Amino acid sequence: MEVTSCKDCGRIFNYIGGVRLCVDCRAKLEDKFTEVKRYIEEHKNATVNQVSEELEVSVKQINQWIREERLAFSEDSSIFFQCDKCGTNIRTGRFCDQCKAEMTRNLGGLYKRDTPTRQKDRRDPAKMRFLDM
Ligand SMILES: [Zn+2]
Ligand SMILES: [Zn+2]
């Protein structure tokens, strides 16, 4: 087992993977998450900066939760984020619904679409799809 110091409080602990936080700080972070989530539900127009100041959570941490899709702002909130792909306004995650749908389609549809022009490995569609990805 690896021994490391906690990113937050600096205490030495047995590192088991994931975020470099000791058990206590992990628990604290989860509590914070619940707090932030509740705050956003109650203050639909709160900005990230406001949440950060009110609850003493870093903007970086809030953004991370959003990108992990753990945190989402409501439909009538004035907060937006940009889709990583097309830059359109979104409220959670990294991509807008359209880009997400497109990416799923591209992944699933490659084999079908390419079939007429491809001759190689025709007998092994599973392998071919793997290569295409
Ligand atoms: Zn700690
Ligand atoms: Zn997009």
- Where does residue 96 rank: exposed (0-12), middle (13-18), buried (19+ CB within 10 A)? buried
User: How far, in Å, CA of 12 to CA of 56, rounded?
Assistant: 24
Cα of 52 from ligand 1 centre, angstroms? 20
Cα of 81 from ligand 2 centre, angstroms? 11
Cα of 12 from ligand 1 centre, angstroms? 8
Task: Give the list of residues 6+ apart from residue 70 with CB closer than 8 angstroms, or none.
Answer: 33
Cβ(12)–Cβ(5) below 8 Å: yes
pLDDT surpasses 80 at 10 = yes
Cα of 27 from ligand 2 centre, angstroms? 34
Cα of 126 from ligand 2 centre, angstroms? 29
In eight-state DSSP terms, residue 78 is S
- Which pLDDT does position 125 carry in this prediction? 54
pLDDT surpasses 80 at 21 = yes
Give the model confidence (pLDDT) of 52-77 as tens digits. Answer: 999 999 999 999 998 898 988 777 77
Task: Give the list of residues 6+ apart from residue 28 with CB closer than 8 angstroms, or none.
Answer: 8
- pLDDT band at 116; cut points 50, 70, 90: low
